[in-house]
Amino acid sequence: MNIKALLLYLTKAVLFGLVMAAVFLGATSIINGDGFGSNLTGNNHSSKTLSFAAAVRKAAPAVVNIYSLSIAEDQPLNSGSLQGLGSGVIMSKEGYILTNYHVIKKADEIVVALQDGRKYTSEVVGSDPETDLTVLKIDGDNLPVVPLNLLTPVQVGDVVLAIGNPYNIGQTITQGIISATGRNGLSSGYLDFLQTDAAINAGNSGGALIDTDGELVGINTAAFQVGGEASGNGISFAIPIKLAHSIMGKLIKNGRVIRGAIGVSGEALSPVLAQILNLPNQKGVVVTGVDPTGPAARAQLRARDVIIAYENEEVPGVEMLMDRIAETPPDSRVTLTIIREGKVQALPVVIAEKPLPE
């Protein structure tokens, strides 16, 4: 064999060896989940991006367990037993905690347990049954505080995590999306619920609903029930943080929420009603009832009047009108723009304070 033939033989052998090595390395990558094979298996930790661990680490320490302390009269004080009630969220370093009113309304003494093992007896700063919110206060040092962002609106499709203490088994995280916003009518009409398919079970009430940045977007409050049973329908509700934060400020300041009222009920102006009343515009609220002892009656507002503006702000529906009235301080003088018998007129009304629910 001459030198030229020998070199050709060696070259082919080397090339064959390189090709087989490449095939072997590629197969090994697919089996082990390395390199280009990681896109198929998803086992490579460096390429795993769908994790909410960072968000949970930010928010979870500020989500507390709430218990009722039951003490038998014929036993010593330290023999009391704790009964799980629900969850809460530490909102400030001063120790203010947001939870649901229905979580604590029957409790005589409330104990708050942090995730680091600390326990505190809390006081009730104030409650608002209309929005099902209560503010508690504990005295502690270096309290974890939940991150929140009041400026970024929650959108349908956003991924959210519910944090709480379901069935008193310990802190649990469930995941879902925001499936709807603006769900009202479930309580007093002041709520603007977030709807989510993240599981919210007994004990989750008062806990945190957070986004993937770990920021608080709502206070978990209810699960959809059929026949009195929460049967895993994937429909749960949370109070938006913007509303909850506003209510918290009022409870801290006054111990209660002071709302305005004028003593009127109404319904949205529908196309049929607009035609019956001979109105060109289909926006407004038709007055259906007037409390004879309330401010609306004193201002001579009548049934079948159509309220089209509140303090020169257009009224698109009942919820907006009732919210504006509720947010107006009592004794304020406001102007309702109405249509009566086809004529537009301004009607001054003095706001009264809405009575507390019995």
Instruction: Check whether 245 has a pLDDT greater than 90.
Output: yes
pLDDT interval class at 107 (50, 70, 90): confident
Instruction: Check whether 122 has a pLDDT greater than 70.
Output: yes
In this prediction, residues 58-77 reach a mean pLDDT of 76
Q: By C-alpha distance, which of 125, 118, 119 is closest to 104? A: 125
Numbers of helices and strands, H then E, in the chain: 8, 20
Residue 117 CA: distances (Å) to CA of 61, 114, 209, 312? 11, 6, 22, 54
Query: Is 56-137's fold the same as 159-254's?
Result: yes
Tokens representing 130 are: 């209309």
Instruction: Check whether 127 has a pLDDT greater than 50.
Output: yes
Q: Which residue has tokens 């329908």?
A: 233
CB 154 within 8 A of CB 218: yes
**Which positions ≥6 away from 266 have C-beta within 8 Å?**
285, 286, 287, 288, 289, 307, 318, 321
Could you write out the DSSP letters of every residue in 247-260?
HHHHHHHHSS---E
The Cα–Cα gap between 86 and 55 comes to 22
Give the model confidence (pLDDT) of 312-358 as tens digits. Answer: 999 988 888 988 998 899 999 999 999 998 889 999 999 999 887 65
Instruction: List the end-to-end C-alpha distance of the chain, in Å, as a whole number.
Output: 109
pTM, full prediction:
0.74
Comparison of pLDDT for 12 and 184, the residue scoring more: 12
CB 194 within 8 A of CB 178: yes
Q: Which of 41-55, 195-209, 255-269 has the lowest mean pLDDT?
A: 41-55
The Cα–Cα gap between 36 and 199 comes to 36
Give the model confidence (pLDDT) of 15-49 as tens digits. Answer: 666 666 665 555 555 445 444 444 444 445 445 57
Provide the pLDDT for residue 99.
96
Assign a CATH topology to domain 159-254.
Thrombin, subunit H (2.40.10)
- Catalytic residue set: 102, 132, 205
Provide the pLDDT for residue 193.
86
Q: What is the pLDDT of the chain when averaged over all its residues?
A: 82
Q: Which of 35-49, 152-166, 257-271, 297-311 has the lowest mean pLDDT?
A: 35-49
Instruction: Check whether 149 has a pLDDT greater than 90.
Output: no
Instruction: Check whether 116 has a pLDDT greater than 90.
Output: yes
- Enumerate the β-bridge partners of residue 99: 134
CB 308 within 8 A of CB 287: no
Provide the pLDDT for residue 231.
45
Provide the pLDDT for residue 346.
95
3 state SS of 201: coil
Q: Which CATH superfamily is domain 56-137 in?
A: Trypsin-like serine proteases (2.40.10.10)
Percent above pLDDT 70 for the chain: 77
CATH number for the region 260-353 comes to 2.30.42.10
192-218 core/surface letters (b: 16 or more CB in 10 A; e: else): bbbbbbbbbbebbbbbbbbbbebbbbb
Q: By C-alpha distance, which of 234, 207, 2, 187 is closest to 85? A: 207
Where along the chain do its domains lie?
A: 56-137, 159-254, 260-353
In this prediction, residues 74-88 reach a mean pLDDT of 65
